[in-house]
A and B are shown apart, each in its own frame.
Chain A
């Protein structure tokens, strides 16, 4: 294939795109809808992940210490817990901090606060808040703590309670894990169905567009045009639909994410869709325009094939 042939193929593709104005417009619009859905699902995936991570982040295991446990012993335990590969972070909360947090939580309950004042001393011990890398790993961490308790068999243990051994806390953790896991699975299924459906619609629109040219394709064959020479301009047209639809979609996302960005930042687990869009523009460009171009070329390639068989 020489330069002249390539030039002819591109010229024919561009001319057909222009002269089949209505078909080109309809195909581009349908493809825009497809690419828009692809883009939205990309966002949905990011937001879903952020929300699920946010939820997962709420899970922790608290270790409450016996009153007046020396801080050195607590720090010692903190260090050994931190050394576990499953542990992401361990936060030390002193008895005073625990009391302050308790007071804040029970601001509205005057009676409770009064009772606390009556006591005169801090009834709360220090504690460690342990976060695992994954919800499923709390079991291992809890077992480690249990061992620590057992080791101190001779002398009184410094650990008062570990809330993981509390049935309701454990249940809540398990439920959280189930919710986040099935959320992810459901999200993936919905995204896959959405993308497949719109791809199929786009694919079919292009096939219909080429169906209108089936007689032309046969005439081209009968006047002696080679299969590739007939097929290539259609592929150029398909790529053009994809390119234009991709650019339109990217342009549409700019005001849309700008508007949504501030409104939804708290709702979507702390992600500002606008800044995410801008910082990941290259990714969006590649996925959206790439999908459009590949879809256009592939659909045209396959649709023309059936009319070339003479």
Chain B
């Protein structure tokens, strides 16, 4: 479903973010990418979203080379990938409801679908009572749950969560991971990057370990080993 083919990324100052990375992700998998800060986890995720271009190699999503998709067609690709970021990246001028509705509007969904689906996903992340609050009126954990609701509302094929628990306390971290597991149980592929040992060890899923831009381990039922 997703295939990284010998991907490298070098910056202008000749620092290396990724070096010859290859791996594939099967549909329905839950894979965690672990590593210290600066290991290249976020760059790897940005490659899939075409936020960054590789210096060498290719990234394929369902046999499409994502870096050959023209800018005006990129939205079609991105609607198939739900994204959750460490810093939540909600739209500050929109309420929780509107943030989720925006993703649906952007995908061209009808008003009826929006009216029925948004309350449903808000209920799924246990935020029905906060739907009219703006992001700055929500706690970090609540904001991240809104971000997850936004990521899943269009029923994407893949959820990419880049350090989603990085700014959260243990309780909120646990809740976010439980939601991701639930999404995966429903058949959605999940790619999670983190450096939280507790999260990884509790998941018992595939783990790719990165160090200085290289994949150093790829374990079927891995643990956080660094």
* Number of residues on chain B facing chain A (CB within 8 A): 27
Stretch in B102-110, B122-130, B167-175, B190-198 with 4+ CB within 8 Å of A: B102-110
Partner of B103 from the list A8, A20, A223 (CB cut-off 8 Å) is A223
Chain A contact residues, majority secondary structure = helix
Given contacts A4-B111, A225-B75, A226-B72, contact A220 B106 (CB under 8 A): yes
- The minimal Cβ–Cβ distance linking A220 to chain B, given in whole angstroms, is 7
Contacts of B90 in A (CB 8 A): 219
Partner of A4 from the list B71, B72, B103, B110 (CB cut-off 8 Å) is B110
Partner of B106 from the list A4, A215, A216, A225 (CB cut-off 8 Å) is A225
Partner of A216 from the list B71, B76, B93 (CB cut-off 8 Å) is B93
Contacts of B91 in A (CB 8 A): 216, 219-220
- The minimal Cβ–Cβ distance linking A11 to chain B, given in whole angstroms, is 10
Quick check: is B6 within 8 A (CB to CB) of the other chain?
no
A189 to B145, CA, bound (A): 59
Closest chain A residue to B77, Cβ basis: A224
B79–A224 CB distance below 8 A:
yes
Size band of the interface chain A makes with B = 20 to 34
Quick check: is B10 within 8 A (CB to CB) of the other chain?
no
- The minimal Cβ–Cβ distance linking A16 to chain B, given in whole angstroms, is 6
A224–B106 CB distance below 8 A:
yes
Partner of B102 from the list A4, A223, A226, A309 (CB cut-off 8 Å) is A223
- The minimal Cβ–Cβ distance linking B114 to chain A, given in whole angstroms, is 10
Contacts of B110 in A (CB 8 A): 4
B74–A221 CB distance below 8 A:
yes
Given contacts A16-B93, A19-B93, A309-B71, contact A223 B106 (CB under 8 A): yes
Give the interface centre of A4, A20, A224, A227 by most chain B CB atoms within 10 Å.
A224
A221 to B102, CA, bound (A): 11
B111–A222 CB distance below 8 A:
no
Contacts of A226 in B (CB 8 A): 72, 75, 106
Interface residues of B in 26-68 (CB under 8 A from A): 49-51
Contacts of B105 in A (CB 8 A): 8, 229
Closest chain B residue to A223, Cβ basis: B103
Closest chain A residue to B92, Cβ basis: A216
C-beta contact mask, B138-172 vs A, less than 8 Å → 1, else 0?
A: 00000000000011001000000000000000000
Quick check: is A111 within 8 A (CB to CB) of the other chain?
no
Quick check: is B83 within 8 A (CB to CB) of the other chain?
yes
Quick check: is B181 within 8 A (CB to CB) of the other chain?
no
Contacts of B50 in A (CB 8 A): 310
Closest chain A residue to B76, Cβ basis: A224
21 contacts between A and B (CB under 8 A): A4-B110, A4-B111, A8-B105, A20-B93, A216-B93, A219-B90, A219-B91, A220-B102, A221-B75, A222-B49, A222-B83, A223-B102, A223-B106, A224-B79, A224-B106, A224-B154, A225-B102, A226-B75, A227-B75, A229-B106, A309-B71
Which 10 pairs, one residue from A and one from B, show the smallest C-beta to C-beta distance?
A: A225-B106, A224-B79, A224-B78, A19-B93, A223-B103, A226-B75, A219-B89, A224-B75, A216-B91, A224-B106
